[in-house]
């Protein structure tokens, strides 16, 4: 696990994810095109939650708990939207391929 600190000061632990888990997360968003231009992106919140479920391994949370290796909703609900967005980016950066 990798230790990181969010801009809010919250410390988090990041897990290494499998290729299948990363593929699942990147396949969730749907990009909608009209006349060759992007009009909207659907399911971005679902994708963010899935990155967090697979990539978060602990940190500064009240009663951090996992069920079958996945953080519970109670843990995720403790974070602000800004923390979740930043955490998703850190999780993605921590998943390295080709080494």
Q: Over 23-34, what HEC string results?
A: HHHHHCCEEEEE
* Every domain of the chain and the residues it spans: 2-94
pLDDT value for 1: 87
Q: Measure Cα distances from 71 to 33, 46, 54, 79, 99 in Å.
A: 34, 15, 8, 12, 28
pLDDT value for 29: 87
Helix (H) or strand (E) holding 11: strand 11-14
Q: pLDDT below 70 — which residues of the chain?
A: 97-99
Using DSSP's 3-state secondary structure scheme, residue 80 falls into coil
pLDDT value for 79: 97
Full-model pTM: 0.87
Nearest to 88 by CA among 50, 36, 57: 50
């Amino acid at each position: 696990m990798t230790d990181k600190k969010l801009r809010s000061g919250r410390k988090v632990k990041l897990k290494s994810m499998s290729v299948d888990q990363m593929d699942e997360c990147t396949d969730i968003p749907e990009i909608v095109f009209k006349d060759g231009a992007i009009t909207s992106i659907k399911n971005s919140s679902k994708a963010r939650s899935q990155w967090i479920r697979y990539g978060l391994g602990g940190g500064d949370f009240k009663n951090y708990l996992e069920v079958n290796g996945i953080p519970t909703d109670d843990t995720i609900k403790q974070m602000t939207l800004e923390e979740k967005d930043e955490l998703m980016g850190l999780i993605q950066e921590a998943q390295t391929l080709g080494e």
